[in-house]
Amino acid sequence: MTLAELLEQQAMALPEAERKKLAAKLLASTASSTVPPRRHAGAAKGRVHFAPDFDTPLDDFAEYT
């Protein structure tokens, strides 16, 4: 007996209300596992900002330079 058959057999032994809850959970989990839309270059343009002094050396690391 395959795992799918075993799970189906166990699910069929549940009361109908419980089967409906289980089916809803399964449908919700498969719906969220759909493929996300493809990303494209420049999609985050204007959303990421760096401080003007981003490249200046930090005082905490002065002893290492």
pLDDT in tens, the chain (65 residues): 788 888 888 888 888 888 888 888 877 766 666 777 888 999 889 998 999 999 998 899 888 87
Against a cut of 0.75, is the pTM above it? no
User: Where does 1-65 have alpha helices with state H?
Assistant: 3-12, 16-31
* Full domain range(s) for residue 21: 1-29
DSSP structure class, residue 61: G
Report how many domains make up the chain: 1
Q: Is residue 15 part of a domain?
A: yes
Q: Is residue 24 part of a domain?
A: yes
Q: Is residue 50 part of a domain?
A: no
List C-alpha distances in Å: 33 to 21, 38, 56: 19, 15, 43
Q: Is residue 34 part of a domain?
A: no
Q: Which residue has the tokens 């409906």?
A: 20
Residue 26: closest CA among 41, 4, 44, 46? 4
